[in-house]
Structure 1
Amino acid sequence: MTDPILEVRDLHVRFPVRRNLLGRTTVENHAVSGVDLALAPGETMALVGESGCGKTTLGSTIVGAQRATSGEVVYDGLSLTAMSERRRAPYRRQIRMVFQDPFSSLNPRFTLRQIIGDPLIATGEARGSELEDRIAEMMRRVGLSPDYMDRYPHAFSGGQRQRVNIARALIVNPRLVVADEPVSALDVSVRAQILNLLRELQAELGLTYLFISHDLSVVENLADRVAVMYFGRIVELADTASLYERPRHPYTEALMSAVPIPDPALKGRGGRILLPDELPDPADPPPGCAFARRCRHAEAGRCDTGEIPLERDAAADPLTGRAVRCVRRDELDLQGIAVTPS
C-alpha cells in the first residue's frame, strides 16, 4: 500500500455564534464534523456536496487558512495541526490553493508579474532575473504569454484570470493543490479548457489534487475517487466509476440525478430527485443521519437515532476502499449513471 501524502483524521471545525457575558462560547456552528480522508500521491480526489456543507472550510483547514477545533491534518507523515505557525510556514509552499472566483481573488492593483511572483518573493526563493525567468516559464505552462507580464487583471477574461490563479499556486512547486470550485464561475466552453489544463499540469508536475465542487458532472472525468459531503460529514467515499454506476447513499443518488446525460436513449431514466429545503441547524445537529429529514428512504426510529458511522467495506484499503454512512446501505438499490469516457 502506498503511504498517503495527506491524511485528515477526525477533523472538527466549529465556529462560535453566541457568547455569554463572560465571553465564553455557548452556541457553535458545526462546519466540519469528524472527517477522515487519505489522499495518495498523484491522485485526484473530488470533494462534492451542496453549498454550505463544509467543503470550503475543510479545504481551508487543510491549507492552514482555517484553524481546526480538533483532529489532525497530517502531511507526509507530519501533523500540521500540531505545529506552530512558524514551524508550519515551510509546508505552505507544498500545499497550495486555487480559489473559486477568478475575479475577486486577484488584486486589481497588481500586475501579473507581481501576482504570480509574490509567493517566490515572500518565501525568498527567487530575485532579479531568476524571478523573471520563473514567472515567464510558469506563464507559458498555464497557457499565457510572458508578454502579458506587466498587464493588470482587468485586461483578461475569466478563463485567463483563472490561469493566473493556477500559475500563482504552482510557482513555488507544490506537491498538493486544493482547488476550490475552480471552474464554477466560468462559461461551459472555458471550463473544459481549465480542466484539461489541470490534467496536463498534474501529469507534468506530479501533482496531487483535492478538487472541491458542487457539481458531479464536472468531476466525473477528472477524479480518481469521490468523497460526498453533507452537513460537515463524509457520507460516501468511492472510486469514481463505482460511485457513478451505483451510489449507495441516498444523498449521492440525489446529486447524481442532476448530472446531465448526453446519451438521448438514457434521458429521462430515473428522473431528477428534488430534495426538500428543510436543512438541519448547524448549531443544533440532529441525532442520527443529518440527511434523514430530506431522505425519501428514511425509516423513523432507525435513521434518526444514535450515531451513524462511516462504514468501510470489509477488508477495504483505506486509500481505495468504499465507505458509506447509511444504515440502509446494503438494502437500497439506488440509481446511478455510467461515467463518460474521457
Structure 2
Amino acid sequence: MSDKQPLLEIEDLHVRFPLRRNLLGRPTVEVHAVSGVDLTLYKGETLGLVGESGCGKTTLGRTIVGAQKATSGSLRYDGRDLTALSRREQGASRRRIRMVFQDPFSSLNPRMNLRQIIGDPLVATGEARGAELEDRIAEMMRRVGLSPDYMDRYPHSFSGGQRQRVNIARALIVGPELVVADEPVSALDVSVRAQILNLLRELQAEFGLTYLFISHDLSVVENLADRVAVMYFGRVVELAETGALYEHPRHPYTEALMSAVPIPDPSLKGRQGRILLPDELPDPSDPPPGCAFARRCAYAEDRCRTGEIPLADGARCVRSGELDLEGIVEAESSRP
C-alpha cells in the first residue's frame, strides 16, 4: 500500500466510558472500549475490521464518523486532525465520512418517507432544495436499485434488503469519500447479502469510495477487503493483506476466528477443527498487563502476561515468529 495516498490516519486512539464517578463528577472507573489503535486507510481501498462482539470495532467506527468522542489520540483525515477541529469545522469534514448502519429496520425513522430519509442530509446542509433536491434523490435511488416511484413510501413497506439500499442511498447522497459500513449485511438473508455486497463493490468503483467494513463474518470480509485488521479487547492484534492473513495468520486469536469459518469442501478443511476458546474474558475496566488474549490462548507463556506488546510485523504477539498457525486452506480457483 506504499504507493497509495493515506486518507485516514488513526494514531494511538483511546475511547473510554465512565462506569463510576466521584463527587466532583470525575470518572473513577472506566471501560476501555478502544485502547491505543493505530490504523491507516488508503484512498480507494476496503479495510476489513473483524472481531468478536464487544471488541471495540463498532465504537471505533462511531468515533471515526463523529458519533462518539475520542478520549485521546488523533484522527487525521486528509491531513487534518478531526479531534482538534471546531464543531463547525468538524461538521464540514464529517460530511466526507458517512456510515451505513447494521440494522436496516431500526436505523430508519418509520415516520419519514424515503424522500425525507434520503434527502435529509442535503436539506440539513442546505446543499439542495426544490427540483434539484428531488432530482438528486431520484438519481441516487436509481443508483442503489430502488425506483424513484417509491419516494412517498415509508420504511415498513420494504424488505430488509431494500431498507439497506435506502441506508446506502442516505449515506452516499452528499458525496462522501469514506464510508464506514458497520455489519451492513449481518441482519439480511443469505440470498440478499450477495446483492448488497455486489452493490457496494459497484458503488466503490463508480464513486471512488474508501470503505471501512466492520464485520464478525470473516467469509464476508475475505471476499470484499483488500486488507484486514483483527481487533481484540479494544486493540488491533493483527493487520495484513487479506490473502496473507487468511492463509497464514500470525496471531492465535485470528487462528481461532478462522477455525469457525465454514468450508463447503471438507477436503479443504485444515488440520484441526473448531478452536473453542474459554469464556475467561478480561475485565474491560481493569485491563491486564501484557497480552489481553493470554488467559484464553493455548500458546501463552509467562512472557505473554507482562509488559507492553507492540504491533510488530503485523501481529501483536511475542510468539508470532515461532508459531505455525492455521488459516483457511482453500483452492486458488475458489478465490474471487
Provide TM-score, normalisation by structure 2: 0.97
C-alpha distance 209-67 of structure 1, shift in aligned 2 (>3 A): same
Select the residue among 315, 318, 325 that pairs with 1:324.
315
Conserved 8 A contact 1:97-1:169: yes
Select the residue among 202, 205, 212 that pairs with 2:204.
202
Select the residue among 250, 254, 267 that pairs with 2:256.
254
Q: Deviations over 1:90-142 (max 9, x none)?
A: 11210000000000000000000000000000011100111001000000110
Select the residue among 102, 105, 118 that pairs with 2:104.
102
Correspondence for 1:303:
304
SS of residue in 1 equivalent to 2:304: coil
Residues of 2 paired with 1:77 and 1:51: CA distance? 31
Residues of 1 paired with 2:295 and 2:227: CA distance? 27
User: In percent, how many aligned pairs have the same letter?
Assistant: 82
Conserved 8 A contact 1:6-1:75: yes
SS of residue in 2 equivalent to 1:26: strand
SS of residue in 1 equivalent to 2:110: coil
Whichever residue aligns with residue 64 of structure 1, its letter is G
Conserved 8 A contact 2:269-2:328: no
Conserved 8 A contact 1:254-1:272: yes
Whichever residue aligns with residue 294 of structure 2, its letter is A
Conserved 8 A contact 1:236-1:248: yes
Conserved 8 A contact 1:142-1:167: yes
Residues of 2 paired with 1:184 and 1:106: CA distance? 16
Conserved 8 A contact 2:251-2:317: yes
2:4 aligned with 1:13, yes or no?
Answer: no
Whichever residue aligns with residue 32 of structure 1, its letter is V
SS of residue in 1 equivalent to 2:303: coil
Select the residue among 140, 153, 161 that pairs with 1:138.
140
Q: Deviations over 1:299-330 (max 9, x none)?
A: 1x211111111113xxxxxxxxxx11000000
Correspondence for 1:341:
335
Q: What is the correspondence of 1:1-342 to structure 2 with a 5 Å cutoff?
A: 1-267=3-269, 269-299=271-301, 301-312=302-313, 323-338=314-329, 340-342=334-336
Residues of 1 paired with 2:217 and 2:300: CA distance? 24
Provide TM-score, normalisation by structure 1: 0.95
For these two proteins, the number of residue pairs brought into alignment is 331
Structure 1 position 268, deviation (Å): 6.4
Structure 2 unaligned regions, length at least 5: none
Structure 1 unaligned regions, length at least 5: 313-322
Structure 1 position 263, deviation (Å): 2.2
Conserved 8 A contact 1:241-1:338: no
Whichever residue aligns with residue 169 of structure 2, its letter is A
